[in-house]
Amino acid sequence: MGRTVVVGDIHGCYDELLDLLEKISFGSDDRLVSVGDLIVKGEKNREVLELFISDKRFSAVLGNHDRKMLRHWKGKRVSLKKAHEDAIAELETGREKYASYLDSLPLVIELDNHLVVHAGVRPGVAIGEQAVEDLTELRTLGADARVEKARPGTKSMRARRLFSSAIGLRRCPGAGRML
């Protein structure tokens, strides 16, 4: 087995994902794990999903945007932004297949001594007892969701300082962040 590469929110940015794979010389023995939010915001949601569905080297946890799309497709009342509506229109053909795939995504992927989740893990709560909202939406640094709000960009800045191998690529149109 080759390397395990963990990537942040892809948000339908297929071309930028391919750029990243080329930049790191992603090989046939490598594995890619996404922290979720495969879709919404970028322009190639279908291509991202097709890649993850068809290539067993690719796996992901469920992200908050993925979850929101699923909830919408299941008839639940959710607040949709234009990016969600655009993704819904793009994915209408094949919706059942894409919904089934997203519904199959785990909330947690274990990698040896690391856990991959989309948002956060509530301190002091066993991983099996974490709320889906915490794993997909947690935006705090402490045990109390009402305090210690994380500032935008702090996660990526910390990752760049902690991991010398962390890299970023150009912004995906509409996603507003680096891949």
> Active-site positions?
65
> Nearest Cα to 36, choosing from 55, 17, 13, 59?
59
3-state SS class at 131: coil
Scan for tokens 């709560």, then name that residue.
Answer: 125
Cβ-Cβ contacts under 8 Å for 32 (sequence gap 6 or more): 4, 5, 6, 7, 21, 26, 57, 58, 59
Angle between helices 82-90 and 45-54 (to 10 degrees): 60
